Amino acid sequence: MYKNSIQVRNVYKNYHKKENILNGINLTVKIGEIYALIGASGCGKTTLLNCMMGMYKIDSGKIEIFNQNVEFKKTSKLANSIGFMSQQISFVSQLTIQETLEYFGNLHFITRKALKERILSISELLELPSLKTFVGNLSNSEKRRVSFAATIIHIPKLLILDEPTVGLDLEFGNKIWNFFNEQTSKNNLTILITTHCMNEVAKADCCGFMMNGKLIVEEKPNILLEKFNVETLYEVYYLLCLNSNQYQFICEENDDNALKLECRNTEFYTKFRLSIIKGIIVKDFHRFKRSFTEIFLIFMTMFVLSWLHITLLGQYPDDIKLGIINHENFNCKNETVPNECGNLHFSCSFLGQINGVKKIFYESNQKAFQDFKKSRISSLMIINENFTNSLINKTFGAHDIEVFLDYSKYHFAIHLKIKIFLTLRDYLLNLTKHCEITDYFMNPYKIEEFLSVKSELDFNFSIPYAPNAIILYSTIAIMTCSVLAIIQCRKCGDWNRSLLNGVQITEIVAAIVFQYLIFAFIISMEAIFCLTYIFKIEFFGNVWLAFILIYIYTINAFLFGFNLSLILDDITSAGYLTMCLFSSLNYISGVIW
């Protein structure tokens, strides 16, 4: 049995070892009374309420609610008996009024039928707009009404309200106070309210005046007027501010007449609950559904960037400049590729078979080497004047054709090297068929020894580029989604309000992990689809193994983004850090090298 809803004894609280915000405060709120807490801005009213709800850890002292000691971050055990309304609205703007109230009702295991009836009665009482209206489209006054509705949806025994009537018109404020008086008289509801309005203080059963983290007076309003011999509470407050150390009154306690309640059934069941996780997932589903454009843009950005990366970096250009000095025939203008040998220059027919390059002919060695050194051409080929005779006389050797390659563009140089050697090999084989030249002269030239990796001209560098690019952008996509979504939830107060309604942090984490496991699956499937059907990348192994690897990468990216969103407080900082990570991954993921 207990007679007090709230007991605060000798509580101290400071931030960063500075001056105490709460300085040995004592406060008592009895069962079934309305207690008004008043004080100047910054005197510690909101801090005291947050300490009562376990959001802040007190340095010393004791806070009891319903005869149970309040522990830091553990008020969820009392969540079914307490309704807390902070100054912050703490709602997801993408949800409708009905979805918001249903979410908080489901947190307290209210049946569907009862919840529907309560939503209708509360919306009528508070004159809420259409239940299908999005919270983000409401005015500040309407948002505060919805916030109050979510606070009383589960019919708590104790209401802790931080300036609930701010922004409301006088008529509606009076309606709220009529509701307070009705509930306290009929249902023994206890209400602790902070306010700056003396007219509201006058309606309370007991009032407390705070100053510099202390409660200087705690008394019934009519008794204060009698003791100070004044007509208004404004005058009382003025006198208290002038002589705060001379006054300290405490509400008289009469044990015989005080209301008493039994302590059983107060504790809220807070073990791991699948129904709570389901409720969080449904709420987030509505939010994601209405943020489809943003999510679609992130997914499309991933696809477009991957396509650009693979297209720009993975393909060979068709305009590689090959400088040629042909001492047999300067530019081969009057030569064509022969079907029969005749007396044509073999160098011209050989050059005619080199395709996929831009040929630039030079007369002067000096000019050719000058352009090569200045990277105006990617490679330089010099053909000896005895090229044809060497082939006919079977004296062909390395001195008859020289090739200089620019290895600053390594894979282009290797590609061109392969192209020239394979073209030469095919040309020599062609000569043996049409010119009655034996293949004896080919024996010393083992073309394949130059092609230690792969001797296919159609090798596509998109193959090694594509996996790195797709993993890189998949990682960035899911990390961006998780960081933005979680930071938004934290900033709007959605998490805090859920925790104050009995949700455990493990349940929130479980719901988030489940959602992003699905997101990671979708992104991984998109990656495999893009690689297979859009980028036409050939898999040399098991496709499902590739999917599993990409899935693991995306899960790892989500976990990184999740931790990042817990460390950082604003989206801008998260964006900068994400860009730094993206730049780093560009270098270490294999895309560059």
R_g of the chain, CA atoms, integer Å = 40
Higher pLDDT, 161 or 397: 161
pLDDT in tens, 281-318: 999 899 888 888 888 887 788 778 778 777 776 566 66
C-alpha 431/C-alpha 341 separation (Å) is: 8
Residue 581 has pLDDT above 50, yes or no: yes
pLDDT at residue 62 above 60? yes
Specify the higher pLDDT residue, 56 or 74.
56
Confidence tier at 339 by pLDDT (50, 70, 90): very low
For residue 206, the 8-state DSSP code is E
Residue 214's CB is within 10 A of a number of other CB atoms, namely 19
CA distance 437 to 430: 10
* pLDDT top residue among 18 and 568: 568
CA dihedral 209, 215, 221, 224 (to 10 degrees): -100
Q: Of 147-156, 162-171, 244-253, which one has max mean pLDDT? A: 147-156
Which residue in the block uniquely carries the two structure tokens 């000096």? 366
* Domain annotation covers residue 277: no
The SS3 of residue 506 is helix
Chain segment 373-432, per-residue pLDDT in tens:
888 888 888 888 887 777 777 666 666 788 888 877 777 787 788 888 888 878 777 777
- Going by pLDDT thresholds of 50, 70 and 90, the confidence category of residue 260 is very low
Cβ contact 523:478 at 8 Å: yes
- pLDDT (average), residues 254-272: 47
Give the confidence band of 131 by pLDDT, cuts at 50, 70, 90. very high
The confidence score (pLDDT) of residue 275 equals 87
CA distances (Å), origin 168, targets 123, 143, 172, 341: 16, 10, 6, 101
User: What does the alpha-carbon distance between residue 430 and residue 67 come to, in Å, rounded to a whole number?
Assistant: 101
Report yes or no: 325 and 380 within 8 Å, Cβ to Cβ.
Answer: yes
Counted domains in the chain: 4
Which residues share a beta bridge with 214?
211
The CATH number of whichever domain residue 428 belongs to comes to: 3.40.1710
CA 256 to centroid of chain Cα atoms: 57
| Whether 444 and 348 share a structural domain | yes
In a domain, 593, yes or no: no
Q: Could you count the other beta carbons within 10 Å of the beta carbon of residue 31?
A: 20
Indicate whether 120 pLDDT > 90: yes
Q: What is the phi/psi pair of residue 103, to 5°?
A: -60, -50
For the chain, the residue count is 593
361 and 439 together in one domain: yes
> Closest Cα to residue 210, out of 201, 102, 354?
201
State the Cα–Cα distance between residues 530 and 536, nearest whole angstrom: 8
- Confidence band for 116, pLDDT divided at 50, 70 and 90: very high
- pLDDT for residue 19 is more than 60: yes
Percent of the chain with pLDDT over 90: 21
Q: Is 192 helix (H, G, I), strand (E, B) or coil?
A: strand
What is the pLDDT at residue 148?
92
Please give the residue that has the higher pLDDT: either 534 or 266: 534
Residue 190 φ/ψ region, left for φ over 0, alpha for ψ in the -120 to 50 degree band, beta for the rest: beta
Strands 214-219 and 68-69: unpaired
- 298 and 326 inside one domain: no
**Residue 112, C-beta contacts closer than 8 angstroms, at least 6 positions apart:** none
CA distances from 211 to 103, 225, 382 (A): 38, 19, 94
Q: What CATH code is carried by the domain that includes residue 234?
A: 3.40.50.300
Does some domain include residue 225? yes
Percent of the chain at pLDDT exceeding 70: 83
440-475 confidence digits (pLDDT tens) = 545 444 444 433 333 444 556 667 777 777 888 888
Q: Look at residues 106, 126, 155 and tell me which one is the last residue of a structural domain.
A: 155
SS3 at position 215 = strand
Domain check: are 497 and 572 in the same one? Answer: yes
* Cα(460)–Cα(480) distance, integer angstroms: 31
Express the helix, strand and coil content of the chain in percent, nearest 5 each. Answer: 50, 15, 35
Are 539 and 513 spatial neighbours (Cβ–Cβ below 8 Å)? no
Q: Does residue 19 lie in a domain region?
A: yes
Q: Are residues 131 and 175 in the same domain?
A: no
Q: Are residues 192 and 206 in the same domain?
A: yes
Work out the burial of residue 392: count CB atoms within 10 Å of its CB; fewer than 13 is exposed, 13-18 middle, 19 or more buried. middle
How high is the pLDDT of residue 4? 85
Lowest mean pLDDT of 11-15, 157-161, 211-215, 412-416, name the range. Answer: 412-416
CA atoms within 13 A on the CB side of 12: 8
Look at 428 and 201; give whichever has higher pLDDT.
201
Mean pLDDT over 322-346 rounds to 68
Higher model confidence: residue 72 or residue 326?
Answer: 326
If you search the block for the tokens 């069941």, which residue do you land on? Answer: 269
Q: Which of 19, 7, 90, 89 is nearest to 52 (CA)?
A: 7
Which residue, of 411, 431, 450, is where some domain finishes?
450
Domain that holds residue 121: 91-155
136 and 257 together in one domain: no
Contacts of 292 by beta carbon, 8 Å cutoff, 6+ apart:
none
Burial class (CB in 10 A: 0-12, 13-18, 19+), 251: buried
Q: Per mean pLDDT, which range of 94-98, 364-368, 424-428, 459-463 is the poorest? A: 459-463
Distance, C-alpha 578 to centroid of its chain = 10
Task: Tell me the C-alpha distance between 487 and 574, whole Å.
Answer: 9
Is 245 within a domain? yes
**Average confidence (pLDDT) over 78-92:** 86
User: Is the pLDDT reported for residue 67 higher than 80?
Assistant: yes
pLDDT at 348: 83
Asked if residue 281 is part of any domain, the answer here is no
Are the C-beta atoms of residues 87 and 162 closer than 8 Å to each other?
Answer: yes
Domain membership flag for residue 275: no
Residues 117 and 126: their CA atoms lie apart, in Å, by: 14
Same-domain check for residues 54 and 177: yes
Q: Answer whether 272's CB lies under 8 Å from 504's CB.
A: yes
Do 230 and 237 form a contact (C-beta atoms < 8 A)?
A: no
Choose one of 132, 155, 178: the last residue of a domain. 155
Q: 471 and 403 in one domain?
A: no
Q: What is the average pLDDT across 131-139? A: 92
Mean pLDDT across the chain, nearest whole number?
A: 81
Cβ contact 5:68 at 8 Å: no
Contact indicator for 191, 180 with CB cutoff of 8 Å:
yes
Whether 428 and 442 have beta carbons less than 8 Å apart is answered as yes
Q: Return the sign of the alpha-carbon dihedral for residues 381, 387, 390, 392.
A: positive
Residues 330 and 407 in one domain: yes
Predicted local confidence at residue 98, as pLDDT: 94
Q: Which pLDDT band holds residue 10 (cuts at 50, 70, 90)?
A: very high
Q: How far apart are the first and last CA of the chain?
A: 74
pLDDT of residue 254: 45
Q: Which residue(s) pair with 217 in the sheet?
A: 209
Same domain, 382 and 445: yes
Which tokens go with 338?
């022969």
Is residue 371 classed exposed, middle or buried when 0-12, 13-18 and 19+ CB atoms within 10 A define those classes? middle
* 210 beta partners: 39, 215
H-run or E-run covering 425: helix 410-434
pLDDT at 531 over 70: yes
- Residues 557-570 have a mean pLDDT of 86
User: Is 86 inside any structural domain?
Assistant: no
User: Which of 80, 128, 123, 73 is CA-nearest to residue 104?
Assistant: 80
Tell whether 187 and 144 lie within a shared domain.
Answer: no
Among 185-189, 246-250, 455-459, 575-579, top mean pLDDT goes to: 185-189
